[in-house]
């Protein structure tokens, strides 16, 4: 289904012919985001270039009661930009202006379509960077980062997106333009800026963002701890932080990931290791080596066979490339993967990883682990063949068992990828009915007719869980129905 002729004409009048698309190739291209397990083609895709155009488009969509979704680069991993219910996609790629750099106040104001890494590139010569660094930072947009409250390896020390957003401008569901926050923290009143961050595009469409800039560390020491067991690597994490040291990043890769990245990128990781731990310290050069010596001893005391330090920037870059491109490297060993994003208390890492290994063994599929160990933010990658329906079903079931395990250990469903459609049904496992209703009541304020990104975050009526109040999201009746799997999420697989 594409646009009706009269509606298409109205969009063309606002945007121009080249910025209204509903041909089959476009619909196919926009049928999913980074979560390829679920697909649904949009009604069409609009490419506004100005706030005025965006407001006009939203008002028109409202008039026709057509649901719509903002989309950045489509790198999201929870299906937040999948156009359930044939929603119209509003592609924000044209909002890529860098509006202002304010070095004394350490801020930068950008359009939502600016690529995450572009911000750092823009201010690097001045000695600053934008801290949240999701693995997709070469492709993902800052607007998408705000919508999902994205993280990355360096959030252990520097925090996630919400800690780095000072202000934003957004268009609400009815076309009203609002500004939240300012050029510094310390605004009076409820932190609506914090509320909007991570709302997965259900409160409005962001048109401008003011971010904090962080000073570049004078020096970084990147270490690689090599382990004969995953458990020992996990214990190292607690030992470092227990000593009062907060590294810039602590990342763990298990032997399957080591094999995949060695095959793809050859960073020089030992193939006989069960796990490697990347630990990075940063700050002033004075005293940093002394701190690194303390960490090296802690790693060895908790079982590291060897601890290597990156000798120069090139070696450091090689290690980080292996970490950040680990998901892509999986392509060397598996046709498809399904990544989870549960969070657990850091002290429970050994138990939960044992449980994941047991789940994988029982299922017959392989589960690889590369994750933010310092935050307890897991990324189990379930390897499967997309062409094998039985494996697709198993992958989904494994994902659900892992989520269940995270909740049981006092954790949460998602640390940085968001809930999207992928984990919506699990929200009722995490929160009480009152708490979920309360969240939906907030959504009803911002998005009373549920036109903005419907079907995300909350359990859907008619599926496994019930939503007791708020505006009920529409059924996912129009999703591709070629591959249904009976699972808790009840969504297309």
Partner 1 sequence: MSTFESGSLEEIQSWVSSRIETKQAFRICGKGSRFVSVNYRKSADNSNVFLSLKKLNATRFFDPEDMVVGVEAGMGITLLQEMLEKSNMLLPVNPWFPDSSVGSIVACNDFGPNRMNMGGLRDCIIGIEYINGKGEIVQAGGKVVKNVSGYDLTRMMLGSQGGLGVITAVNFKVMPKPVEAHGMFGIFNSESWLPQVEELHKRRIPLDWIQAVSTLDSNWLLGLGYSGNEPNRNRIEREISNVFGKNLTVLADGELFPGQKFTPGGKRFYGFLLEIRNAWEMSESHFHVFATAATANILNFPFEKFHKENFKMLIHPIGGDIYFMHESSNRKEQLQHLEKIKSALAHPDSKLRWVSGDIESSIQDLGKLGVASGYSLTQRLKRHLDPAGVFSSSYYDLELEA
- Choose between 193 and 261: whose C-beta lies nearer to partner 1: 193
**Residues in the chain, how many?**
493
Of the listed pieces 9-17, 238-246, 351-359, 392-400, which binds partner 1 according to CB under 8 A? 238-246
Please tell me the count of residues contacting partner 1 according to CB under 8 A. Answer: 89
Residue of 31, 208, 308, 372 interacting with partner 1 (CB under 8 A): 372
Tokens (6 digits) for 136 = 């997709």
375 class by beta-carbon count within 10 Å (0-12 exposed, 13-18 middle, 19+ buried): buried
Residues 453-482 binding partner 1 (CB under 8 A) are 457
Residue of 18, 125, 190, 271 interacting with partner 1 (CB under 8 A): 190
* Distance in Å, CB of 37 to partner 1, minimum: 19
Contact characters 102-131, partner 1, x per CB under 8 A: xxxxx--------------------x----
**C-alpha to C-alpha distance for 41 and 26, rounded to whole angstroms:** 9
Q: With beta carbons less than 8 A apart as the criterion, state whether 471 and 450 touch.
A: yes
Tokens (6 digits) for 43 = 């009604």
- Choose between 259 and 431: whose C-beta lies nearer to partner 1: 431
**C-alpha to C-alpha distance for 93 and 111, rounded to whole angstroms:** 9
Residue of 57, 60, 276, 343 interacting with partner 1 (CB under 8 A): 343
Residue of 305, 357, 442, 485 interacting with partner 1 (CB under 8 A): 442
167 forms part of the interface with partner 1 (CB under 8 A): yes
* Distance in Å, CB of 399 to partner 1, minimum: 15
Phi, psi (rounded to 5 degrees) for 4? -70, 150
**C-alpha to C-alpha distance for 256 and 262, rounded to whole angstroms:** 10
- Choose between 98 and 245: whose C-beta lies nearer to partner 1: 245
Residue of 12, 139, 333, 430 interacting with partner 1 (CB under 8 A): 430
183 forms part of the interface with partner 1 (CB under 8 A): yes
63 forms part of the interface with partner 1 (CB under 8 A): no
Residues 279-318 binding partner 1 (CB under 8 A) are 283-288, 290-291
Q: With beta carbons less than 8 A apart as the criterion, state whether 220 and 282 touch.
A: yes
Tokens (6 digits) for 389 = 């329906």
- Choose between 191 and 480: whose C-beta lies nearer to partner 1: 191
Q: Bridge-partner residues for 251, per DSSP?
A: 278, 372
Give how far Cα 87 sits from Cα of 128, 399, 489, Å. Answer: 39, 27, 20
Count Cβ neighbours within 10 Å for each residue of 327-360 and write b for 16 or more, e otherwise.
Answer: bebbeebbebbbbbbbbbebbbbbebbebbeebb
- Choose between 215 and 461: whose C-beta lies nearer to partner 1: 215
208 forms part of the interface with partner 1 (CB under 8 A): no
Residue of 359, 413, 421, 451 interacting with partner 1 (CB under 8 A): 413
SS3 173: coil
Tokens (6 digits) for 366 = 């392989």
Contact characters 350-369, partner 1, x per CB under 8 A: --------------------
- Choose between 83 and 167: whose C-beta lies nearer to partner 1: 167
Q: With beta carbons less than 8 A apart as the criterion, state whether 46 and 15 touch.
A: yes
199 forms part of the interface with partner 1 (CB under 8 A): yes
Strands 275-283 and 306-309: unpaired
């Amino acid at each position: 289904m594409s646009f009706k002729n009269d509606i298409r004409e109205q969009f063309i009048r606002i945007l121009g012919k080249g910025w209204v698309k509903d041909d089959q190739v476009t619909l196919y291209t926009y049928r999913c985001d980074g979560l390829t397990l679920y697909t649904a083609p949009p009604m069409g895709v609009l490419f506004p270039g100005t706030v005025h155009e965006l407001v006009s488009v939203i008002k028109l969509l409202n008039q026709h009661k057509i649901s719509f979704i903002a989309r950045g680069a489509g790198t999201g991993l929870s299906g937040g930009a999948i156009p359930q219910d044939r929603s119209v996609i509003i592609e924000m790629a044209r909002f890529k202006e860098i509006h202002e750099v304010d070095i004394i106040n350490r801020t930068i104001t950008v359009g939502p379509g600016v690529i995450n890494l572009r911000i750092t590139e823009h201010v690097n010569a001045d000695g600053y960077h934008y801290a949240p660094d999701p693995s997709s930072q070469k492709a993902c947009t800052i607007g998408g980062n705000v919508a999902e409250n994205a993280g990355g390896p360096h959030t252990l020390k520097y925090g996630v997106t919400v800690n780095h957003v000072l202000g934003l401008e957004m268009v609400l569901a009815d076309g009203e333009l609002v500004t939240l926050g300012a050029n510094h923290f310390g605004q009076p009143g409820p932190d609506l800026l914090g509320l909007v961050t991570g709302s997965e595009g259900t409160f409005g469409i962001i048109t401008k963002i003011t971010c904090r800039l962080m000073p570049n560390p004078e020096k970084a020491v990147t270490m690689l701890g090599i382990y004969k067991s995953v458990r020992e690597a996990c214990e190292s994490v607690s030992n470092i932080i227990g000593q009062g040291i907060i590294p810039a990043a602590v990342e763990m890769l298990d032997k399957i990931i080591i094999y995949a990245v060695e095959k793809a990128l050859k960073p020089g990781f030992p193939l006989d290791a069960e796990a490697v731990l990347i630990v990075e310290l940063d700050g002033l050069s004075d005293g940093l080596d002394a701190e690194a010596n303390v960490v090296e001893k802690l790693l060895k005391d908790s079982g590291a066979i060897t601890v290597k330090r990156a000798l120069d920037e090139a070696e450091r870059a090689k290690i980080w490339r292996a970490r950040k491109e680990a998901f892509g490297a999986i392509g060397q060993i598996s046709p498809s993967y399904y990544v989870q994003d549960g969070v657990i208390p850091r002290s429970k890492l050994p138990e939960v990883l044992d449980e994941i290994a047991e789940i994988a063994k029982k299922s017959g599929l392989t589960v690889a682990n590369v994750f933010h160990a310092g935050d307890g933010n897991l990324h189990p990658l379930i390897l499967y063949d997309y062409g094998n329906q039985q494996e697709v079903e198993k992958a989904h079931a494994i994902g659900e068992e892992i989520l269940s395990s995270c909740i049981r250990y006092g954790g949460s469903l998602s640390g940085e990828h968001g809930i999207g459609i992928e984990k919506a049904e699990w929200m009722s496992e995490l929160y009480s009915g009152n708490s979920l209703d309360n969240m939906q009541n907030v959504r009803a304020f911002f998005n009373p007719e549920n036109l903005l990104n419907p079907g995300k975050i909350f359990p859907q009526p008619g599926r496994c869980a019930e939503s007791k109040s708020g505006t009920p999201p529409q059924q996912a009746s129009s999703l591709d129905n070629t591959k249904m799997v009976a699972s808790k999420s009840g969504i297309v697989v």
